[in-house]
Structure 1
């Protein structure tokens, strides 16, 4: 079959882009022809429909008027007219693509679930029905999960959310990525769904130090004996990155520094008085308002050093404008620990990456971790599963939990045998439950 995987963007380091690449590989292995369709391609190949762009200025205006305040239009009718006109442009581009490439199945990713692209949802539904194209709708995140989409400004927006998020007709099969979403879809929309968890290629070549990345630490300003704590996710409020700052703030306290100085690190390096513990951000900054400034303020208060390196991280290794860029995988190679403090995830790509990279992980037990992942038996440093929000809107967990987590991190940084046992056991569990082979079994029943 000819299958089109569709999203607002592809070829980037966000979770949906990464998952689409995995589906593409597995579907091609199954003998299908697979195309990528998006508003932007990043560093991959595909078909562009410009109006699908994640940050298209017209769609930004629609989002603002749909969920914040209807201020750019005289009335609801004028807003509706412009949304439908824009949907028509997307429909035109998608129809042209479907006919040109003889597409049998469309796979919209988040287009019918997130609430971000109102015109896109309408357009995809129209194309499916008018051309009789089957769809496997891959829902990663839902509008009802996000505060942003909780207060539609008019009836038209409510109607779109009711009718197209997601559409309910026989041409569409629905895929979700966790048990919570499956239950919610049944409760809210009376729809049956198939759970397809995030997966990873556990048979891939192990990420390692090589001639291309050997200068990575030096490039980002780290010395050989510095400890690199990697936050690989995008920078957004729900990632609760402030918890990683709190953890590093605890690690740099005198008693913990003394413990590190009194022992060799797990790989034989010597941590000394001149060594630093640095929190490195590899992901795209996608936060609302002042979040990054608040993170910097929290870090300053706790004397935590932050490094923002997304400007040299790309979807894959490349050279841009004469500048050497690394893949996200290169960042993992040089990390000593991974922080994953998200309070909300649709599933958790970076969790799987950490398993494959064989790095110890510090994890906040977000709801989907508890329902879909924890039961598999992974050995993680836990930040608990309850939190409060302070006056700045930043997340906090009990100080005792941070202290306990820091002590566990010290053990993982200094006890080679213990560390190896933890990461090898986690790798084996990941391969057992979340591999490409397990994905192929599920997809063979959908296509």
Structure 2
């Protein structure tokens, strides 16, 4: 079969683009021909419908007027007309693409999930009706999960969300990435979806120290005998990085430092050694949140480093200085924090497991429903929190203390460190590898008859 994977953008570092690359690889292993369709192609070759561009100026205007403030149109009818006119352009190009490229299966990614592309959602629905081919709607998150889409400026926008996001048509099957989304979709729309979790290439080569990255620690002024605690995610409020700061602060407790004299890797942790909290991700929070993090770190005496200017998706030289990949940061970390209170899945969790690093985890809702029962051994921060008057996440202090104790035990015990990280790796390989994705996709009714062995 010929399959088209569609999104607003491809070939970039956003989670949807990355998952599409994985699906393409697995479908090709099955023997299918796969192409991309998008509004922009980034570093990946794609068929382009420019009206699908994630930041198309017309769509930007529609989004702002549909959800924030109806200010660029004289009335609701004018906004509706622009949405439908723009949708018609996308629909015609989409139908031409399906016919000219002889597409058998179209897989829209998040186009029917969020309310970002109202014209696109309508266009794809009409194309599904008119083309008659099979569609698989791959939903990463939904509009009802986002505050942005909860109060439309016009009643007809709400009607569009209910009818088209997602549509319930006979030739469309639906895939979600977690069981919470599956249950909510059935409750709201009467649609029965299949759960296909995000995956990682656990069959790939291990990340290692090499000639390029061997000076990573030096480049961010972290000593060889220091403990590097990594927060690999973007810096946003829901990542609850303040909890990571508390854990690092607890690790610096004198009792734990006595236990940390000899580390798992044979290095000595002396009075001159430090525990450094390294934040590798792009800041995407409010300035106030960043200030709160810095203030909290200062109050707890935590050495915090914001190193995103030295980290990118891949290695390169810029202004005669090295830029490292995120994988390089994992290589030289000793411990990884993942204190997010809300995730659609948890890609950085899988990355840390692949890197064979112990992981501090807050048990966010999807973790509890989809991941906890697999048998991983993580350092838990529990699953209960409150929000203080600064907007920061707080948990019981006992949880922070126990996490600090468990972390110090793992960091000072070579066998425990290796046993737990190796066991986590094998579990993830079983459930969240490319081989597992092959099984998940092979089980979808429209693909299992045509599948070929890996």
Q: 2: distance between equivalents of 1:243 and 1:380?
A: 15
- Number of the residue aligned with 1:361: 359
Q: TM-score, normalised by structure 1?
A: 0.92
Query: CA separation in 2, counterparts of 1:214 and 1:193?
Result: 46
- TM-superposed CA distance for 1:247, in Å, is 1.7
**Bigger shift: 1-10 or 411-420?**
1-10
1:280 aligns with 2:278: yes
Point out the more displaced range, 326-335 or 284-293: 284-293
In the alignment, is the contact (CA less than 8 A) between 1:249 and 1:304 conserved in 2? yes
Task: Specify the SS of the correspondent of 2:304.
Answer: strand
- Aligned ranges for residues 320-335 of structure 1 at < 5 Å? 324-335=322-333
> Could you tell me which residue of structure 2 aligns to residue 386 of structure 1?
384
Partner in structure 1 of residue 106 of structure 2 = 106
Q: Give 1:335 shift.
A: 1.4
Aligned partner (choices 389, 406, 409) of residue 408 of structure 1: 406
Q: CA deviation at 1:347?
A: 1.5
Mapping of residues 194-273 of structure 1, within 5 Å: 194-260=194-260, 263-273=261-271
SS state at 1:159 partner: helix
Distance change >3 Å, CA 422–CA 59, structure 1 → 2: same
Aligned residues: CA RMSD: 2.3
CA positional deviation for 1:320: 5.7
Report the alpha carbon displacement of residue 323 of structure 1 after superposing the two structures with TM. 5.3
Q: 1:253 to 1:204 in 2, by over 3 A?
A: same
SS in 1 for 2:323: strand
The residue number in structure 1 matching 2:452 is none
Query: Measured at CA, do residues 297 and 78 of structure 1 come closer, stay the same or move farther in structure 2, by a change above 3 Å?
Result: farther
**Contact 1:13-1:314 within 8 A present in 2 as well:** no
Aligned mates of 2:93, 2:274 — CA distance in 1: 52
CA deviation digits over 1:48-68, x for unaligned, max 9?
A: 444434344443443333233
3-state DSSP class of the match of 1:223? coil
Match of 2:134 in 1: 134
Q: Offset of 1:145 from its aligned partner? A: 1.7
Distance (whole Å) between structure 1 residues aligned to residue 160 and residue 287 of structure 2: 27
Aligned partners of 1:428 and 1:277: how far apart in 2? 29
Query: Any runs of at least 4 consecutive aligned residues in structure 1 with deviations exceeding 6 A, and if so which?
Result: none
1:64-103 → structure 2 map (5 Å cutoff): 64-95=64-95, 97-103=97-103
Q: For 2:244, what is the secondary structure of its paired residue?
A: helix
CA distance in 2, matches of 1:254, 1:348: 33
Secondary structure (helix, strand or coil) at the match of 1:264 reads coil
State the alpha-carbon separation in 2 of the partners of residues 86 and 229 from structure 1.
48
SS at match of 1:113: coil
The two structures have a TM-score, normalised by structure 2, of 0.90
Distance 1:256 1:163, change over 3 A: same
Q: Could you give the per-residue CA deviations for residues 225-283 of structure 1, whole angstroms, max 9, x where no partner exists?
A: 222222222222222222212222222344434443xx122112222333332222223
Q: Deviations 1:332-366 (Å, cap 9, x if unpaired)?
A: 11111111111111111111111111110111101
How far apart are residue 314 of structure 1 and its match?
A: 3.4
3-state secondary structure, aligned to 1:115: coil
Question: Helix, strand or coil: the match of 1:331?
Answer: helix
Pair 1:56–1:279, CA change in 2 (3 A):
farther
Number of aligned residues: 445
Match of 2:137, SS? strand
Query: Structure 1 stretch 215-224 or stretch 388-397: which is displaced more?
Result: 215-224
Residue 191 of structure 1 aligns with which residue?
191
**Higher-Rg member (1/2):** 2
3-state SS of paired residue (1:425): helix
Say if 2:259 and 2:409, in contact at 8 Å, map to a contact too. Answer: no
Q: Which runs of 5+ in 1 are unaligned?
A: none
Alignment of 1:121 with 2:121, yes or no, is yes
Residues 185 and 191, structure 2, Cα contact 8 Å, conserved in 1: yes
Give the distance between the partners of 2:298 and 2:58, measured in 1 at CA: 38
What is the distance in 1 between the residues matched to 2:64 and 2:291?
23
Q: How far apart, in 2, do the equivalents of 1:24 and 1:376 lie?
A: 26
Provide the C-alpha distance between the structure 1 equivalents of 2:38 and 2:426, rounded to a whole number of angstroms. 35
- Relative distance call for 1:407 and 1:309 in structure 2 (3 A) is same
Q: Secondary structure at the match of 1:11?
A: coil
Choose which of 353, 369, 372 in structure 2 pairs with 1:371: 369
Residues in 2 aligned to 1:325 and 1:336: alpha-carbon distance in whole angstroms: 21
Aligned pairs (5 A) from 1:28-39: 28-39=28-39
Give unmatched runs, 5+ long, in structure 2: 448-454
1:442 counterpart residue number? 440
1:62/1:15 CA distance change after superposition, 3 Å: same
State the secondary structure of the residue aligned to 1:280: strand
Q: Given that residues 43 and 316 in structure 1 are in contact (C-alpha distance below 8 angstroms), is that contact kept between their aligned partners in structure 2?
A: no
